[in-house]
Every structure is written in structure tokens, then in C-alpha cells.
Amino acid sequence: MSIPAETRAQVLMQALPYIQKYHGKIIVIKYGGNAMLSEELKQAVMGDLTLLAQIGVRVVLVHGGGPEITDLMQKTGKEPVFADGLRVTDKETVELVQMALAGKVNKDLVNRISLCGGRAIGLCGIDGRMILAKARDERLGFVGEITDVNPQPILDMLAAGYIPVVSTVGCGEDGSVYNINADTAAEHIAGALGAQSLIMMTDTPGILREQGKPNTLITELTVSRAVQLIREGVISGGMIPKTHCCINAIRRGVERVFIIDGRTAHAILIEVLTDEGIGTMFR
């Protein structure tokens, strides 16, 4: 569809204040859900990141990759096991996690950004001992709880003009490798970087007053109001841990945190560069 030149110019002018606001600032994007599974959406996200980087935004991409881990496990004849919603990760499984996340998924995303004209470099939490962790629960094996984040490797890559693409594999003081929840890792990384914003891509429109009804989207929340909505049961199920990550990121010094629907093409640009935005903003 051809868009008239005047309309394109108006769109660019609307974006100008946001370009000025975010120029030179760090935005951390947690990438996951259906946006990682759809080829079309995957390409749109990588294009969004490239555009933001080229207008001077310092973009950091943090990703998980649960489906890829499961796929690799099944190909090697290992059946995935979950407890309390978390993947039970024995020694063999954590090696597969490292292969899937730091290998296949990470390098695929780096390659896609490069094909969009961006400059990206892949990192994982083991590089520069960026993400230090300890065992979260003995029952879960090598599922990690973050103890410290060293943001310097990411800052070095940003200074060199790259988009750091970070897979959420961490390491222990003794060299053990841990599988880290991507939402939690993004929260800690954004806080350690002093990021302007953290954008959490999900498979929902944001925080809804009534589940399953997108027209009840809550567009803005304070931390105290978010805590209250959890107590009231408005925020429930899988949105509770995501909301806690958003709250914790704000408490770590991130100015704004967004939950957006990764199923919407160019959702990142809509949130960052338009008046309307998309999803729920925490402040």
C-alpha cells in the first residue's frame, strides 16, 4: 500500500520529540513469546531494533528461547520436565540450554539484525562473568537465581556501536552454568545499565482489568497501584511474575517499563516513537 508523502512526513514529525528524548539513552528489550516464533514478526522486531539504533538509541536485546530448548531436548531424546512452571535443569539439560540459547538462538538473532542493516554482537551471561548466579532451588537443578550483574561487557559493545544481543545463561562463582529466567535477567540488566526504559514483549496486550478483554487495557500504572491490583486478583496467573519484574526494574532505577503485545507488528516502534503507544506503562 502506497502512503502519501505528506502522511509520511507527518508521521516522522510526530516521532521527532521521541527521537530526541531517547537519543543516546539505553533501552533494554526483552524478546520472547510468539514474536520469536513467527518469521514475519521476528523480521519486524529486528527491523525495529535496527531503526532505533540508527537514530541514536542505545538498544540492548535480551532473549530467552524456551521452545528452542524443548526442541533440542526432544531431538536428543530427553523429555522436558517442569516444576512450578520452571524447567527442571539437570547437568545434561543445562548443556542443551547453553547450546540452544547462547548458540542457535543468539546467533540467529545477530544474523537477522545484520541482514536488516544493523550491527549486532552476541553475548551470554557467562561472557565477562556478566550474570552471576546461584542455584535457585535444589529440586530444579541448574536453574539460577541472579546474585550480581556486571554491565561492562554490554556497555563496551554499546560504545563500539553494536546492538548487544544477550542470551540468559549465567554462571556461578565455581564456574557452574545456570539457566536464567529471561524476564528476571532483563529486569536486572536494565537496572544495572541505568536504562531509560525496559520493554517486555509478551503474548498479551498488557495489563487488563478483565481477562480476555483487550478493550479493558490499563495503559499506565504506578508501582503501588500494580501491587494493589495483584492483591485484588486483577493481575493473576502468569502476569504476576512479569508484573513483579516490571516493579523490580522501576525500583532498580529504570525510569519506565512497558509490557507490550509482541504479536503486533512493529509494536516497539509504536510504543517508543508515537503518541498513542501500545500496552501498559509502569512508572
The number of beta carbons lying within 10 Å of the beta carbon of residue 68 is 21
* Three-state DSSP state, 27: strand
Catalytic residue of the set 30, 42, 48, 170 = 30
Active site residue 134: no
Average pLDDT of the residues in 204-215? 89
pLDDT band for 1, please (50, 70, 90 cuts).
Answer: low
The whole-number pLDDT of residue 9 equals: 82
> What confidence tens digit (pLDDT) does each residue in 238-278 have?
899 999 999 999 999 999 999 999 888 899 998 899 877 78
Angstrom CA distances, 40 to 21, 54, 262, stand at 29, 21, 12
Read off the pTM.
0.94
> What confidence tens digit (pLDDT) does each residue in 74-89 have?
999 998 888 877 889 9
Residue type, 144: G
- Given phi > 0 = left and psi -120 to 50 = alpha, else beta, which region is 116? alpha
Active site residue 65: no
The whole-number pLDDT of residue 167 equals: 97
> What confidence tens digit (pLDDT) does each residue in 160-201 have?
999 999 999 999 999 999 999 999 999 999 999 999 999 999
The whole-number pLDDT of residue 116 equals: 96
Across 197-220, b (16+ Cβ under 10 Å) vs e yields bbbbbbebbbbbeeeeeeeebbee
The whole-number pLDDT of residue 206 equals: 92
Catalytic residue of the set 125, 141, 242, 262 = 242
Catalytic residue of the set 32, 47, 64, 66 = 66
Active site residue 242: yes
The whole-number pLDDT of residue 48 equals: 95
The whole-number pLDDT of residue 12 equals: 80
Cα dihedral: 187, 188, 194, 197 (round 10): -10
Angstrom CA distances, 210 to 143, 207, 246, stand at 33, 9, 20
The whole-number pLDDT of residue 151 equals: 98
Q: CA 61 to CA 248: how far, in whole Å?
A: 19
- Residue that has been written with the C-alpha cell 495503559 in this structure: 219
Q: What is the 3-state secondary structure (H, E, C) of 118-174?
A: CCEEEEECCHHHCEEEEECCHHHECEEEEEEECCHHHHHHHHCCCEEEEECEEECCC
Catalytic residue of the set 183, 206, 261, 279 = 183
Of the candidate ranges 4-13, 44-53, 55-64, 219-228, the one whose mean pLDDT is the lowest: 4-13
Q: CA 265 to CA 112: how far, in whole Å?
A: 16
The whole-number pLDDT of residue 277 equals: 75
The whole-number pLDDT of residue 2 equals: 64
| 24-282: in CATH 3.40.1160.10 | yes
> What confidence tens digit (pLDDT) does each residue in 18-73 have?
899 999 999 999 998 766 778 888 999 999 999 999 999 999 999 999 889 999 99
Q: CA 21 to CA 30: how far, in whole Å?
A: 21
The DSSP 8-state label assigned to residue 89 in this structure reads B
The whole-number pLDDT of residue 134 equals: 96
Give yes or no for residue 3 having a pLDDT over 60.
Answer: yes
Q: Mean pLDDT across the chain, nearest whole number?
A: 92
Active site residue 104: no
Active site residue 206: no
* Ranges of each domain in the chain: 24-282
Per the CB < 8 A criterion, the answer to whether 35 and 48 are in contact is: no
